[in-house]
């Protein structure tokens, strides 16, 4: 039996990012400014980009080059999910572990296949207050890489997971994270690399075939960072 393991893994980060911002089945709109989680003082009055604005700064086929085909967005699927052997992921919520009903308010995503093969790459862009974004993605990577081996049971199908913390690319943005995930089910295995970069109030997550992630991370961040210049232009020079 072949399970769509690649799609399962690519949904992990998108849904887990919602944990610090909202609860299950609830979408919360963040105000433009909010108290800092670390200092208790108001955060900088940076303009947070809307999902529509973020969408214009995702990579597209022209950025990626020949051989890439954009995948249509799939409707959200809600399955019974259990995480076995990883208490930290259980605390974040089993449904979140495979892409459940949680959603981060300001986000945009795109996924592509490459060369007509099973190689895929997925990009996620988020805009949020710096402390919220930083704390949220740190919590996610700590939970996922803190359990080298665990199992996810989704819709009755067991998926064996293995995670490995990687050294992230240095010199990109303000913070970086990276990990390698291997999912095995029904005699099939899929390896996915995830690299996340926070630049101010923007968060970029690139997931997919390791070679494709390494090839496009710089380009993805450059295009995402262009959104910061755009936001400052429309907000009268307020820096993010």
DSSP class of residue 42 equals B
DSSP β-bridge partners for residue 191: 182
| Residue 218 pLDDT | 96
Q: What is the phi-psi region of residue 200: left when phi exceeds 0, alpha when psi lies from -120 to 50, beta otherwise? A: left
| Residue 32 pLDDT | 35
Q: pLDDT for 113-145, tens place per residue?
A: 998 877 899 999 999 889 888 888 888 888 888
Rg value, the chain, Cα? 17
| Residue 33 pLDDT | 35
Flag residues of the chain having pLDDT under 50: 1-8, 10-45, 95-96, 98-103, 230-240
Q: In sequence order, what E strands does the chain have?
A: 68-70, 81-84, 107-114, 120-127, 149-154, 157-165, 175-185, 188-199, 202-208
Secondary structure of residue 120 in the 3-state scheme: strand
DSSP class of residue 57 equals T
| Residue 139 pLDDT | 83
Q: What is the C-alpha separation between 1 and 153, in angstroms, rounded? A: 15
Q: pLDDT for 100-120, tens place per residue?
A: 333 467 889 999 999 887 789
Q: What is the C-alpha separation between 124 and 217, in angstroms, rounded? A: 12
Threshold 0.85, pTM exceeds:
no
Q: Please name the residues in contact with 208: beta carbons below 8 A apart, sequence gap of 6 or more.
A: 10, 119, 120, 121, 122, 192, 193
| Residue 3 pLDDT | 35
Domain boundaries, the chain: 5-28+36-41+48-234
Q: In the CATH scheme, what is the code of domain 5-28+36-41+48-234?
A: 3.40.1000.70
In the chain, count of helices (H) and strands (E)?
7, 9
């Amino acid at each position: 039996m072949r399970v769509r393991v690649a799609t399962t893994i690519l949904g992990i980060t998108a849904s887990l990012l919602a944990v610090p911002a909202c609860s299950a089945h609830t979408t919360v709109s963040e105000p433009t400014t909010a108290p800092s989680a670390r200092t208790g003082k108001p955060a900088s009055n940076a303009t947070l980009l809307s999902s529509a604005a973020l969408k214009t700064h995702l990579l597209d086929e022209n950025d990626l080059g020949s051989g890439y085909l954009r995948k249509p967005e799939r409707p959200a699927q809600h399955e019974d999910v259990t995480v076995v052997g990883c208490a930290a992921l259980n605390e974040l919520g089993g449904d979140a572990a495979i892409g459940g009903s949680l959603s981060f308010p300001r986000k945009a995503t795109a996924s592509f296949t490459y060369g007509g093969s099973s190689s895929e790459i997925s990009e996620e862009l988020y805009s949020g207050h710096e402390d919220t974004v930083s704390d949220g993605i740190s919590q996610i990577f700590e939970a996922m890489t803190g359990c080298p081996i665990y199992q996810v049971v989704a819709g009755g199908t067991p998926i064996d997971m293995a995670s490995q913390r990687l050294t992230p690319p240095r010199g990109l943005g303000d913070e970086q994270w990276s990990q390698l995930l291997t999912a095995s089910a029904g005699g099939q295995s899929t390896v996915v690399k995830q690299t996340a970069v926070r630049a101010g109030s923007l968060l970029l997550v690139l997931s997919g075939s390791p070679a494709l992630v390494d090839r496009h991370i710089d380009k993805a961040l450059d295009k995402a960072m262009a959104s910061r210049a755009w936001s400052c232009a429309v907000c009268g020079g307020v820096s993010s």
